[in-house]
Amino acid sequence: MATITGVRVEDVRFPTSATADGSDAMNKDGDYSAAYVVLETDAPDPADPGGAPLGGYGLTFTIGRGNDIVAEAARQQAAALVGRDVDELAADMGAVYRDLTADSQLRWLGPEKGVVHLSLAAVLNAAWDLVARRAGKPLWRVLVDMTPEELVDIADLRYLSDALTRDEALAILRAREDTRQERIANLERTGYPVYTTSAGWLGYSDAKLRRLCQEAVDAGYHHVKLKVGANLDEDVRRLAIAREVLGPDRALMIDANQVWDVPQAIEWMGELAKFDPLWIEEPTSPDDILGHAAVRRAVAPIGVATGEHCHNRVMFKQLFQADAIDYCQLDTGRLASINEIVAVLLLAAKFGVPVCPHAGGVGLCEMVQHVSVLDYVAIGGDLTGRVTEYVDHLHEHFTDPCIVADRGAGTAYVLPSRPGYSTQMYEESLGEFRFPHGTYWLRHNAVHVPH
Amino acid sequence: MATITGVRVEDVRFPTSATADGSDAMNKDGDYSAAYVVLETDAPDPADPGGAPLGGYGLTFTIGRGNDIVAEAARQQAAALVGRDVDELAADMGAVYRDLTADSQLRWLGPEKGVVHLSLAAVLNAAWDLVARRAGKPLWRVLVDMTPEELVDIADLRYLSDALTRDEALAILRAREDTRQERIANLERTGYPVYTTSAGWLGYSDAKLRRLCQEAVDAGYHHVKLKVGANLDEDVRRLAIAREVLGPDRALMIDANQVWDVPQAIEWMGELAKFDPLWIEEPTSPDDILGHAAVRRAVAPIGVATGEHCHNRVMFKQLFQADAIDYCQLDTGRLASINEIVAVLLLAAKFGVPVCPHAGGVGLCEMVQHVSVLDYVAIGGDLTGRVTEYVDHLHEHFTDPCIVADRGAGTAYVLPSRPGYSTQMYEESLGEFRFPHGTYWLRHNAVHVPH
């Protein structure tokens, strides 16, 4: 027996705005933050039998103000898990998802979007972490050890049947079932390919941009992403620097973070096409499915990528149905955990769109490696055109941080080996960056009001 | 001078679940609630110079749990208005909207959807109420007294230029400008046509349904709406009763409240078509633009209606572009106030889709009458195919409740005449239904936890 005895939700904020880390054309001053959920149990942790009791640790990512609002929503949603038996949860995570999404009063606040969906992701991410720790396995392993039926049973297929039936989902999973071990062996050798965004934040100087691009080349990156969209002349100058350092053969991606209207996106990309970008990311409103399709038709062969703000599986379904994107950048803090992610991975496989998840932020890299491994091993089954985001900051706050290394096939996430979803933070980090009463914020006189 | 001196935000909940008022296939036990914003000023109220100071009163509607979360978000957003001069705000409400939506950290929690958009609606609705009270006019009058340029300047046209340019918006408004007074005179005579949903909640017995349909006929309604989607046999039985009472010439609308997948919606409507419904409302996920378009193609000539959960103007733009709906049911608590509503009304006019706003809830009828009048007088310019929702409950809590009467052309909203947006609630009502410490909730031992 292992019972969930309590829930703790923390509002954790890192002062990233001070160094322009994470700055882009829409988000100039983000303080990278996490609404962090701890599910406490009364059972020993199999990985540390004499230590602290077993816990589940999950989060969603925000960029500062309002993180308290998400934390409060998570607190209300997670309360339903207190008193539940962990093994019972683990045996039917589809039912856990349905229970937590069945509250029609809270549903009204979305539905399935915004604060209540972000907070649901945090709670369910913690539940998945708990399940994996209880099993003594990394989460990706828990998932790839499931049968096709078990994977379909945890997936939220509601509202998808016009694009993907349960039988089609099963057929996709069964077609990859026999070869899962080969792909795991591949990943054990090479890791999962990544690209870096660390070089290209908009607030960095040209000299810093040039140096960071060179460092990325030296570190073995085949793909580098830059932020664009604030000023066309500056974009041209910065992309020229990046392309010069990267040479003609490495991939350069660009990201406009939703600043353009559709006609403006098309016009601006006409000016940037000469730098041969692999994709333009978030060219316009994340809600604009038909707009992305229009941009894609106009800028081909440059690809269109989006997803970090795509709020649920119904939106991804339509992005696929409308031929609107070349790359699916789902987000582990915005979709409602593995349950909704599996549905999107299945849709992407059916429509033949490569999944290149969004990461960075706080803890997103830690989660996303599990998702990309699941996709390659059990669902998409392919690395062609796939590359997952990696940003090199804030990993020091995690007890099991992701590891990126070049083992001869380019820079890659090393396969996670420790139990869980890799999202536990050090208590010391919480003590320092808990808002507004952590030691960092007390020193900097944080006052808990907006603006 | 009139300065905003403070903000008060209330979590107000009415125990509607006790009587099944508002019950439908998705929402079985809603407690109709309002996140209610009061902007306090230091100026006298022109309508009551010796009384309480001028205030602005606005709200968004929710159905219970989570209303506190919306209230907290509204509190954070409204703080930016404290200290501002009311006449300065009134002179440029477009700038007020842009200021309140410019916080990129809060934007991350949507963007433009869910809790932070609902709360923004509450805050901006209060600001519009304040502006109208300061002018001593009902809000619809403030708006139809604006020039085309002024109306376009308050509208949020961002992300719409592929469907509607500023020049096109101006042309629509100018084409209706000279005839505004004729249409105002029309409305003074007949009011704005309404339909009733009061008869058709899913939790009502057959006998109550029959009685309420008959009362609607006797009261002069030409349109009645019923909830469907929980059980096909019951829907057939209930629609047969309604059609029998209404006769062949009155319009019967049905509302599935998002319970179906797309193929299921098409199949179910095949069975209900024989009752000749005017429209099927919310047949599937409110995010599913392409799904609504597929349902519309399949069920024609039955119309498709949606909008109460359509979270912003970008979604409405696509519903129009995809020919997905026959009726636009925008919601005054979900769109970010008049600023976003004017943009949607302009889009609807351009695409020729009648706007039949969602109402009911708490205070939505009070607001929606102003919006429908604005649409007819200055934007859409037509009553053909238009009918606005009316639900007969909770009006007793408002100081200037909407009035519905039959003046010979069918039941209609009587043109509002008192200053403001009609959304001020009695302090006595707040004292009774404030959650969890109002007298009603104290008597019923409300405990402020979910479930």
Task: Please tell me which residue of chain A has the smallest CA distance to B30.
Answer: A105
The reported pLDDT for the residue numbered A445 is 74
Contact A65, B76 (CB under 8 A): yes
pLDDT band at A447 (very low <50, low <70, confident <90, very high): low
Residues B306-321, mean pLDDT to the nearest whole number: 98
What is the sign of the dihedral through the CA atoms of A270, A271, A273 and A279? negative
What is the sign of the dihedral through the CA atoms of A149, A154, A155 and A159? positive
The answer to whether the Cβ–Cβ distance between B287 and A104 falls below 8 Å is no
The answer to whether the Cβ–Cβ distance between B77 and A311 falls below 8 Å is no
The reported pLDDT for the residue numbered B29 is 83
Distance from CA of A35 to the nearest CA of B (A): 12
Active-site residue numbers of A? 227, 358
The reported pLDDT for the residue numbered B446 is 64
Residues 6+ apart with CB under 8 A from A283: A256, A258, A260, A262, A265, A269, A291, A292, A295, A304, A306
The answer to whether the Cβ–Cβ distance between B162 and A263 falls below 8 Å is yes
Query: Poorest-confidence range of A195-204, A286-295, A308-317, A344-353?
Result: A195-204
Residue in A62, A322, A450 closest to B108 by CB: A62
Task: Please tell me which residue of chain A has the smallest CA distance to B112.
Answer: A114
Residues 6+ apart with CB under 8 A from B113: A110, A113, A114, A287, A311, B311, B312
Distance from CA of A104 to the nearest CA of B (A): 6
Contact residues, chain A, for B158 at CB < 8 Å: 261
The answer to whether the Cβ–Cβ distance between B109 and A105 falls below 8 Å is no
Residue in A28, A103, A159 closest to B284 by CB: A159
Residue B285 has pLDDT above 70, yes or no: yes
Contact residues, chain B, for A116 at CB < 8 Å: 66, 69, 114-115
What is the percentage of chain B residues whose pLDDT exceeds 90?
90
Residue in B80, B110, B288 closest to A318 by CB: B288
Strands (E), A126-208: 192-200
Contact residues, chain A, for B285 at CB < 8 Å: 111-112, 159, 314
Contact residues, chain B, for A31 at CB < 8 Å: 105
Contact residues, chain A, for B113 at CB < 8 Å: 110, 113-114, 287, 311
CB-neighbour burial class of residue A417 (10 A; exposed 0-12, middle 13-18, buried 19+):
exposed
Radius of gyration of chain A (CA): 21
Token pair for B280: 């099927």
Contact residues, chain A, for B284 at CB < 8 Å: 159
Say what the ipTM of the complex is. 0.96
Record the pTM.
Answer: 0.97
pLDDT band at B451 (very low <50, low <70, confident <90, very high): very low
Residue A423 has pLDDT above 90, yes or no: yes
The reported pLDDT for the residue numbered B430 is 98
- How many inter-chain contacts (A to B, CB under 8 Å) are there? 214
Nearest to B89 by CA among B129, B53, B121: B129
* Active-site residue, from B222, B350, B358, B370: B358
Per DSSP, the residues of B324-352 read --SEE---TTTS-HHHHHHHHHHHHHHHT
Residues A194-222, mean pLDDT to the nearest whole number: 89
The answer to whether the Cβ–Cβ distance between A315 and B72 falls below 8 Å is no
The reported pLDDT for the residue numbered B447 is 52
The answer to whether the Cβ–Cβ distance between A106 and B65 falls below 8 Å is yes
Token pair for B273: 């078509």
Helix (H, G, I), strand (E, B) or coil at A280: strand
Which position has the higher pLDDT, A145 or A16? A145
The answer to whether the Cβ–Cβ distance between B109 and A110 falls below 8 Å is no
SS3 assignment for A205-229: CHHHHHHHHHHHHHCCCCEEEEECC
> In the 8-state DSSP scheme, what is residue A307?
-
The reported pLDDT for the residue numbered B257 is 94
The answer to whether the Cβ–Cβ distance between A290 and B318 falls below 8 Å is yes
Query: Poorest-confidence range of A68-72, B73-77, B444-448?
Result: B444-448
Nearest to B415 by CA among B405, B430, B429, B427: B405
Distance from CA of A316 to the nearest CA of B (A): 10
The answer to whether the Cβ–Cβ distance between B451 and A79 falls below 8 Å is yes
- The torsion of the CA quartet A127, A133, A135, A138, rounded to 10 degrees, works out to 100
Distance from CA of B96 to the nearest CA of A (A): 15
Residue A439 has pLDDT above 80, yes or no: yes
Token pair for A302: 């440059």
Contact residues, chain A, for B27 at CB < 8 Å: 104-105, 107-108
Token pair for B181: 């007074």
Contact residues, chain A, for B258 at CB < 8 Å: 111
CB-neighbour burial class of residue B34 (10 A; exposed 0-12, middle 13-18, buried 19+):
buried
Query: Poorest-confidence range of A197-201, A251-255, A436-440, B121-125?
Result: A197-201
Residues A405-419, mean pLDDT to the nearest whole number: 94
Token pair for A435: 């808002």
pLDDT tens, residue by residue, B231-271: 999 999 999 999 999 999 999 999 999 999 999 999 999 99
Residues 6+ apart with CB under 8 A from B85: B1, B2, B3, B4
Contact A123, A37 (CB under 8 A): yes
Residues 6+ apart with CB under 8 A from A388: A192, A193, A194, A195, A356, A357, A359, A368, A369, A372, A413
Residues 6+ apart with CB under 8 A from B183: B376, B377, B381
Instruction: List the beta bridge partners of residue A288.
Output: none
The reported pLDDT for the residue numbered A448 is 45
Q: Torsions phi, psi of B159, nearest 5?
A: 70, 10
Chain mean position to CA B412? 16
The reported pLDDT for the residue numbered B220 is 87
CB-neighbour burial class of residue B217 (10 A; exposed 0-12, middle 13-18, buried 19+):
middle
The answer to whether the Cβ–Cβ distance between B288 and A317 falls below 8 Å is yes
CB-neighbour burial class of residue B386 (10 A; exposed 0-12, middle 13-18, buried 19+):
middle
Report the C-alpha gap between B344 and B335 in whole angstroms.
Answer: 9
Nearest to A22 by CA among A185, A225, A175, A268: A225
Task: Please tell me which residue of chain B has the smallest CA distance to A23.
Answer: B104
* Active-site residue, from B225, B227, B395, B397: B227
Contact B400, B413 (CB under 8 A): no
Instruction: List the beta bridge partners of residue B48.
Output: B45
Phi-psi region of A247 (alpha: psi -120 to 50; beta: other; left: phi over 0): left
Look up B208 and say whether it is catalytic: no
Report the C-alpha gap between A70 and A75 in whole angstroms.
Answer: 9
Query: Poorest-confidence range of A11-15, A49-53, A78-82, B278-282?
Result: A49-53
Total Cβ atoms within 10 A of residue A451:
10
Report the C-alpha gap between B190 and B413 in whole angstroms.
Answer: 9
Report the C-alpha gap between A307 and A161 in whole angstroms.
Answer: 21
Report the C-alpha gap between A146 and B30 in whole angstroms.
Answer: 38
Task: Please tell me which residue of chain B has the smallest CA distance to A64.
Answer: B105
The answer to whether the Cβ–Cβ distance between B106 and A450 falls below 8 Å is yes
pLDDT tens, residue by residue, B426-450: 999 999 999 999 999 999 976 544 4
pLDDT tens, residue by residue, A112-156: 999 999 999 999 999 999 999 999 999 999 999 999 999 999 999
Contact residues, chain A, for B108 at CB < 8 Å: 27, 30, 62-64, 66
The reported pLDDT for the residue numbered B19 is 78
The answer to whether the Cβ–Cβ distance between A70 and B109 falls below 8 Å is yes
Residue A450 has pLDDT above 70, yes or no: no
Per DSSP, the residues of B193-231 read EEEEEEEE-TTS-HHHHHHHHHHHHHTT-SEEEEE--S-
